[in-house]
Amino acid sequence: MDNYAIFGLVLGCMSAILDLLGLAIPYWNYVDAGFISVNKGLWVACIGIVGCGPIPDVPGELVAVRALMVFSLLLMIAAVVCFLLQKFMMKDKVILTKVAAFVAVSAGILMEFGTVLYAFSPKVSTSIISLHAGFGLCVIASLFGIFGGVCMRKAT
């Protein structure tokens, strides 16, 4: 494999891992009111030392963000698998590398749409809320996905 292929594969894998971590942790936003702090992820909210629980009354925008992020994670995994299949098993099927590159770039763009929707939706994020680590991980994952797809395409 050439350098572009290796770099594209590493970026694709890192994108999937960072997106999975971003989806899993309850730190998409953070509010510190002095006497109490609240961390909120896509699935649960944690209130100070009280504990964590599911988010009640999930707004439609948050459902859309969840769907975009999970779908983009699945697409990124599919891109990496498709790329590996072409490089190690189906070496004569060059079209698989192009498909993997397109799917990886598409996954990165969908991740970016999800994070932008989260950041600018008034029902999900307000001015008193600070965006936190999970959000940042997914932004970085989207960039890795896009650049990984570009490197995969250059590897053909």
Every domain of the chain and the residues it spans: 3-24+58-124+135-150
Cα atoms in the Cβ-side hemisphere of radius 13 Å centred on 67: 8
Does residue 11 carry a pLDDT above 80? Answer: yes
The predicted structure's pLDDT at residue 104: 94
Q: How confident is the model over 37-60, as pLDDT tens digits?
A: 888 888 888 887 788 888 888 888
**Which residues partner with 28 through β-bridges?**
none
Give the C-alpha separation, 45 to 37, whole Å.
11
CA–CA gap between residue 48 and residue 71 (Å, rounded) = 31
* Confidence category of residue 145, pLDDT binned at 50, 70, 90: very high
Query: In this structure, is the dihedral angle defined by the CA atoms of residues 56, 120, 126 and 71, taken in order, positive or negative?
Result: positive
pLDDT one-digit tens code per residue, 92-114: 777 888 898 999 999 999 999 99
**Cα atoms found within 13 Å of the Cα of residue 117, Cβ hemisphere only:** 18
pTM of the model: 0.87
pLDDT averaged over every residue in the chain:
87
Contact in structure between 35 and 18 (CB atoms under 8 Å) = no
According to the model, what pLDDT value does residue 128 have? 67
Asked if residues 16 and 24 have their Cβ atoms less than 8 Å apart, the reply is no
Task: For the chain, give percent helix, strand, coil, nearest 5.
Answer: 65, 10, 25
Of 19, 64, 66, 60, residue with least CA distance to 42:
66
